[in-house]
Structure 1
């Protein structure tokens, strides 16, 4: 068993449990849609396309289960996407729920912020290691009819008349489809090969994490540190970044640290050393120490606020990290990748119904970036302003010192950072956040 793995019985299908059967089938190389990358965004895109009656090839360079650097936390926004996919996320199916955020900063005692009670979202979050979560999503896509090929390392697009018509892997194998989705992560070799370059002006983050055996694994809260210190809080040097500790269901805790490129320390910091410095200040009984560490400290980039555009052109759609879809407010990427996958599937299925290659089909595909901008563009623009502000430790200290003690203000901040509001039936806080998002120019 991979450390940190959640036991979920036989409820969600696992890709790794089905591959032995799938490998006996003929090695399919053509479909209506090719999706490159079987992370949450890629598997969700493939599943939603299959639900709309399309044949799908899902290509993944690794084997399942495989580990990914992540906080492993799923907010209510991500839980809603599991429901939309038809995946049972109840406790009886073996998922470990949490009730909200416990925030440290600005005072000695932490501040507890339950997930808001809304009509549009559930009032609970989940924690599940990516080694298990990605496996579950890919397996669910296979149950819906998606053909998954693992061990396929896509290296380049196949083009005709400047339009992508398939992909080629490092073994020279070719896979063809009239529409291709790049869900291959931040480095996105496929998108770069098709001329999509990263916008350096958009925010970027970096995160490092590991696991510890700890009594805090039994907690009901996802914990977050808005201030990190190299000694006693308020009496030592404040460190750049923010920290987290998310309790798993197996006796371990996912502990990590993130930093934004708006910080003056970004790019020339030893993040692993920074994390060890912070962990040395935590209470000994938490066991966030070398003796109880399970696995090395590993890091990953967090591409934010649509930092790679266009999300559609020349037959290629970008989903998830390949299109820089991480929320700049809180570093969450899973739910946004999955939501983008559903929007992409809507555009792809409409294009197929109109006849791929026709002007009408192209209009349908171009509706995808429009839908992304409509849903997240204004909110992400607000997030870019937020990133610039909290990159200054003095501003962060002022916010935590004078903001955290005010429950009403923190309820508003909690909704804003997690992007959890009711669209039509919300309270005054919901209306304020929704209005600001609508008025802000799209990112």
Structure 2
């Protein structure tokens, strides 16, 4: 029992898109689910807001249909050269994060997902056996206001700076870095201007990548990825053609930041606690796959719980993220080296290679 009523099957810590998707998956498989989230209302986040075709398919399977702008492919540009590829199958969507959260919240409520607002300060796990010998157990979340929520399983879906990851001993100490500015961060802002392309444009500036994502008929999102200290304004100014397009465009949101993006973990499971999404480990947003991976991980976590094989989750996590981790690690290494200036020319010179990479990201 908990102070809030009957024990729930799955406690989900984190009410962002991945946490809500995990709770929806749980309800669709017949489990009870309760989400713990400290922030009230619609949640925003600094991200590129491009929902790849694979992620659109995951959302559709959950019965979630956010409003957005169709995206037909990806374009790499450096001012002189351009490489672009249009998806061979289904299209992607540019979706404001607030709109995505709204759609997921409505679907979760429709399925009976409970939401409690609070911050987790401790996690306790217990295992034992019933009189018939069956193994039973529970995990509880203690909130800072004194409440206790008890469940059979817990999913840590609380993002890059996960509290759950720390509380269950799966966090790693950050590696020493030679330069303080070597870690990468993201900044995002919206502008009121009609999209001029149906592609996500990635402008490779000298010291940052600038992503342009259509998110509506009269609105685009601009995301900058770079090292600590990267200025949104300076990154934009380093792409003159883009800066000119946006020179008189009204701002449609304030700027938001996220990071550091690289997050290592000791694993993705500790007893009855499974880490999902960014909390489970993350490399970088440079390939724009975070949402697709998180949605697939949420589905896999619930499938492993329902199947009575929680120990299988870490293998599933490695399978789901393997290509992403290899590609992203290599691309970030190139982006932080003298090879950076060759990335767009190589993509333009080898369109079949670039196309295969884009298609792998789209799945």
TM-score band, normalised by shorter chain: 0.7 to 0.9
CA separation of 1:376 and 1:53: change in aligned 2, threshold 3 A: same
RCO higher in structure (CA 8 A, sep ≥6) = 2
Matched, 1:271 2:252: no
SS in 2 for 1:222: strand
Matched, 1:297 2:297: no
SS in 2 for 1:339: helix
Counterpart residue number, 1:249: 216
> What is the total number of aligned residue pairs between the two structures?
348
Contact 1:103 1:111 in 2 (8 A): yes
SS in 1 for 2:8: coil
SS in 2 for 1:178: strand
Shift of 1:283: 4.9
Counterpart residue number, 2:45: 68
Contact 1:116 1:415 in 2 (8 A): yes
Deviation sequence 1:304-350 (CA, Å, 0-9, x none) = 5x722311112110001111245665143111111100000011112
Matched, 1:155 2:126: no
What CA distance in whole angstroms lies between the structure 1 residues aligned with 2:6 and 2:219? 41
What CA distance in whole angstroms lies between the structure 1 residues aligned with 2:259 and 2:209? 15
Counterpart residue number, 2:321: 376
Contact 2:297 2:317 in 1 (8 A): yes
What CA distance in whole angstroms lies between the structure 1 residues aligned with 2:44 and 2:31? 29
**Map 1:360-375 → 2, pairs under 5 A:** 364-375=309-320
Shift of 1:279: 5.8
Contact 2:160 2:282 in 1 (8 A): no
What CA distance in whole angstroms lies between the structure 2 residues aligned with 1:248 and 1:315? 38
Counterpart residue number, 1:262: none
Counterpart residue number, 1:183: 157
Deviation sequence 1:222-248 (CA, Å, 0-9, x none) = 2111x21xxxxxxxxx2x121111112
Shift of 1:211: 1.0
Counterpart residue number, 1:135: 102
What CA distance in whole angstroms lies between the structure 2 residues aligned with 1:190 and 1:244? 31
Matched, 1:31 2:3: no
Counterpart residue number, 1:9: none
CA separation of 1:218 and 1:387: change in aligned 2, threshold 3 A: closer
Matched, 1:54 2:31: yes
| TM-score, normalising length: structure 2 | 0.86
Q: Pick one of 379, 400, 422 that aligns with 2:344.
A: 400
Matched, 1:213 2:192: yes
Shift of 1:370: 1.0
SS in 2 for 1:180: strand
Deviation sequence 1:50-72 (CA, Å, 0-9, x none) = 11111111111112222211111
CA RMSD of aligned residues (A): 2.8
| TM-score, normalising length: structure 1 | 0.71
Contact 1:303 1:324 in 2 (8 A): no
Contact 1:157 1:164 in 2 (8 A): no
CA separation of 1:214 and 1:279: change in aligned 2, threshold 3 A: farther
Counterpart residue number, 2:77: 104
Contact 2:142 2:148 in 1 (8 A): yes
Deviation sequence 1:173-229 (CA, Å, 0-9, x none) = 1110121111011111122011111364699631101111123x353222111x21x
Structure 1 portions without partners, runs of 5+: 1-25, 118-122, 229-237, 260-265, 352-363, 421-443
What CA distance in whole angstroms lies between the structure 2 residues aligned with 1:379 and 1:249? 28
Counterpart residue number, 1:287: 246
What CA distance in whole angstroms lies between the structure 1 residues aligned with 2:327 and 2:199? 27
More strand by share: 2
What CA distance in whole angstroms lies between the structure 2 residues aligned with 1:298 and 1:328? 15
Structure 2 portions without partners, runs of 5+: 129-136, 177-181
Q: Pick one of 174, 190, 205 that aligns with 2:148.
A: 174
**Map 1:108-123 → 2, pairs under 5 A:** 108=81, 110-117=82-89, 123=90
Counterpart residue number, 2:132: none
